[in-house]
Amino acid sequence: MIHKRYTTLLEMLIALGLTTILLTSLLFYYNYVAQLNNKISNLEHATFQQRYLQHRLSDLFTHALPVKDSKHRFFYSTNDPDNIFLNNTQNLVFSYDNGIVLNPPLANEVLGRLYIDRDNNLTLMTWPARDQWEPNGPATAGHKEVLLPQVDSLTFEFLILPKKQKDPPKENEPTNPFPELPTLGWHQDLWKKEYDQIPSAVKIIIRTKPKDELITYAFPIPKSKDIVHFER
Amino acid sequence: MKKAHPRKKVNIRKSPFTLLEVLIAFFLISIAILPLVYTQTFTYQQHKRFIREIDLDRIANLIFVDILERLHKKENISWQDLQSGRVIPIEQEFPHVSGNYYFLTHHAKANEDQTYVVVDYTLKINLQIPDSEKIYSFDFDLLATWNATEVQPPSQDER
């Protein structure tokens, strides 16, 4: 005779308890993996956006054009006098060489403005060079390019270095090419049109929105042609 | 008449699992899950490292601009540092990044009346991130002129 032994309530409860623990740990693991994947995905997204920004800005400032004695080229920053950008943030207007593009008016020398639009996008607006404008403005619509979304603030710093000298400086010759500026070094105020020069380097400081993270980029401007001069 | 054998009473005793056995099995399953968790954590760490690596480009640019400024201001970097190729530790503090830099002399040319010398340098910035022995090297070209009346220009072969 086979005696069938039934499961007791205690055994059942223990089995249920163990199953609960097992399922909890499995769900915890699943949740952990999902969170990690989400984090990785966000990190990748943010990194590639910032990487793109670094690459794009580096390309732009490498091709920034000198403005000296030119009526059609510009390099200056403003504080949004017309209140058309985000929270009265700074913006930078500069001429640069856009190279070969499909739209002929936006090829080669163009005029760019770097600013934060009202949707918190760090944006580059590109128009044809100033000498191609008609009396009422540019004949061709500008090209808007979002470089980085979710940006809260944008500030610029400009490096002022002594001008290029073919010969060692003569006596009483000023080494500061910008007599309006107090000292050589990093200039944290606006870069005025009247300076009629491009700086040796630009620092772009942005604050990103979700993490409230401050990111600083620095770009030397090769066209400024600064040479280090040493004198013993 | 043959006597039938009495049917043997088969006693099938079903051996139930003891609590200890179940706990041991549970413990083993938990151990088996650990490598899976480790794989995910490792992937995440690798991603963070990769992000630090690609951020080095931005940091190298910041260091270059800082060196450029100090060269012009003659702060902490002398012409001897340029000429000797001395390895100089990076003073700026960046989280998770350490490194050094030095100058390589490539080409030197004096002007006609030998009053100054134009020297073509490569600035090599070497950066390292924690938990990695790999050194990331960034090269920047720069020109320097120096007064040759008191200083002997470097030879063309100098590297």
**Could you read off the pLDDT of A15-69 as tens digits, one per residue?**
888 889 888 888 888 898 899 889 888 888 888 898 899 999 999 999 999 887 7
Distance CA B136, CA B98 (A): 11
Put simply, the answer to whether A159 touches B47 (Cβ < 8 Å) is no
Q: Is A25 helix (H, G, I), strand (E, B) or coil?
A: helix
pLDDT band at B156 (very low <50, low <70, confident <90, very high): very low
On the question of pLDDT at B35 being above 90, the answer is: no
Q: Say which range, B8-12, B40-44, B134-138, B146-150, has the weakest mean pLDDT.
A: B8-12
Q: Which residue has tokens 């080669």?
A: A108
pLDDT, chain B, mean = 79
Contacts 24+ apart (CB under 8 A), A59-62: A60/A94, A60/A96, A60/A112, A60/A114, A60/A124, A61/A96, A61/A202, A61/A219, A61/A220, A61/A221, A62/A219, A62/A221, A62/A222
Question: Which of A5, A33, A232 faces B147 most closely, judged by CB atoms?
Answer: A232
Put simply, the answer to whether B151 touches A43 (Cβ < 8 Å) is no
pLDDT, tens digit, 9 for 90 and up, residues B101-152: 999 888 788 777 767 778 888 899 999 988 788 999 999 888 887 776 655 5
Would residue B120 be called left, alpha or beta, if left means φ above 0 and alpha means ψ between -120 and 50 degrees? beta
pLDDT, chain A, mean = 83
Report the gap between the CA of A138 and the closest CA in chain B (Å).
35
Distance CA B66, CA A185 (A): 10
Distance CA B159, CA B148 (A): 19
What is the torsion angle, in degrees rounded to the nearest 10, for the CA atoms of residue B114, residue B116, residue B122 and residue B126? Answer: 130
Kindly state the tokens that stand for B153.
């220009």
Give the chain A residue nearest B52 (alpha carbons). Answer: A47
What is the torsion angle, in degrees rounded to the nearest 10, for the CA atoms of residue A10, residue A12, residue A18 and residue A19? Answer: -160
Q: Is the ipTM of this complex over 0.85?
A: no
pLDDT, tens digit, 9 for 90 and up, residues A201-211: 999 999 998 77
Could you report how far apart the first and last alpha carbons of chain A are, in Å?
112
Cβ–Cβ contact B15 with A under 8 A: no
CB contacts < 8 Å between A and B, how many? 117
pLDDT band at B159 (very low <50, low <70, confident <90, very high): very low
pLDDT band at B158 (very low <50, low <70, confident <90, very high): very low
Distance CA A132, CA A110 (A): 9
Single-letter amino acid code for the residue at B88:
I
Distance CA B21, CA A127 (A): 76
Distance CA A131, CA A73 (A): 9
Mean per-residue pLDDT, B68-78 = 81
Report the gap between the CA of B134 and the closest CA in chain A (Å).
21
Kindly state the tokens that stand for B88.
């100089």
Q: Is A115 helix (H, G, I), strand (E, B) or coil?
A: strand
Report for A164-173, B18-27, B100-109: range of highest mean pLDDT: B100-109
Give the chain A residue nearest B72 (alpha carbons). Answer: A228
Distance CA A177, CA A197 (A): 9
Which of A224, A181, A197 is closest to A73 using CA atoms? A197
Question: Which of A1, A33, A58 faces B40 most closely, judged by CB atoms?
Answer: A33
Q: Is A81 helix (H, G, I), strand (E, B) or coil?
A: coil
pLDDT band at A148 (very low <50, low <70, confident <90, very high): very high
Put simply, the answer to whether B61 touches A162 (Cβ < 8 Å) is no
Kindly state the tokens that stand for B114.
């030998």
Distance CA B49, CA A9 (A): 53
Q: Which of B61, B63, B70 to mutate to test the interface with A (most CBs of A within 10 A)?
A: B61
pLDDT band at A185 (very low <50, low <70, confident <90, very high): confident
Distance CA B82, CA A142 (A): 46
Cβ–Cβ contact B36 with A under 8 A: yes
On the question of pLDDT at A171 being above 50, the answer is: yes
Q: What angle do CA A83, A87, A92 make, to 5 degrees?
A: 70
